[in-house]
Structure 1
């Protein structure tokens, strides 16, 4: 069972990291899954994940209940919107693809606005 947790944890970490650049893959759920799997598989892997700057930057505020700064939210949503718009245009006449992409974009927008707290910038 431990090996299964490690394999799923590594896959979730890789997908979460890819999700920082690709808007169709969510970062946070994959990082949460990786954390859970690594915590179940070994303390060393859990500590390794927590030591990564990308993980700390995006996940520590969630675990502390602090949320993200307005600048972080705007940056993430801008990149997401631009990349999704490019994908939307490139889909041409694939109607179902455009509908799914539009729904994913709306989900991202509502999630960032209503579910993630906005914290003030650290001085």
Structure 2
């Protein structure tokens, strides 16, 4: 029963994380890390797939080994938030 719960949480978190790639205000990294933690409790196959993923593998490995988020991910997050704020201000002024 709990494995199904964690599997559903992992899937939802991963979907939200993937959506966060294209939506500037929705963070990707925390949702991918939550998906990895959920898959670790529910399905080793999904967890291994996520860790070996070309796009998310390094983020998860860095977090599991060092408890750090890569500098590239931090810069991308700050950049996307800044762009979102600037675009919002521009539309607010018009």
Alignment TM-score, normalising by the size of structure 2: 0.72
In structure 1, stretches of 5+ residues that fail to align are: 94-123
Where does residue 32 of structure 1 map in the other structure?
33
- 1:11 Cα deviation after fit: 0.8
Note the aligned Cα RMSD (angstroms): 2.4
Which of the numbers 64, 67, 70 marks the counterpart of 1:68? 70
Where does residue 79 of structure 1 map in the other structure?
80
Q: Output the CA distance in 2 between the equivalents of 1:26 and 1:39.
A: 21
User: Does the CA-based 8 Å contact 2:59-2:69 persist in structure 1?
Assistant: no
Alignment TM-score, normalising by the size of structure 1: 0.58
User: How many positions carry a matched residue from both structures?
Assistant: 90
In structure 2, stretches of 5+ residues that fail to align are: none
Larger Rg: 1
Where does residue 51 of structure 1 map in the other structure?
52
- 1:62 Cα deviation after fit: 2.5
User: Does the CA-based 8 Å contact 2:25-2:84 persist in structure 1?
Assistant: no
Q: Output the CA distance in 1 between the equivalents of 2:63 and 2:14.
A: 16
Q: Output the CA distance in 1 between the equivalents of 2:59 and 2:79.
A: 16
- Over 6 Å off, 4+ runs: none
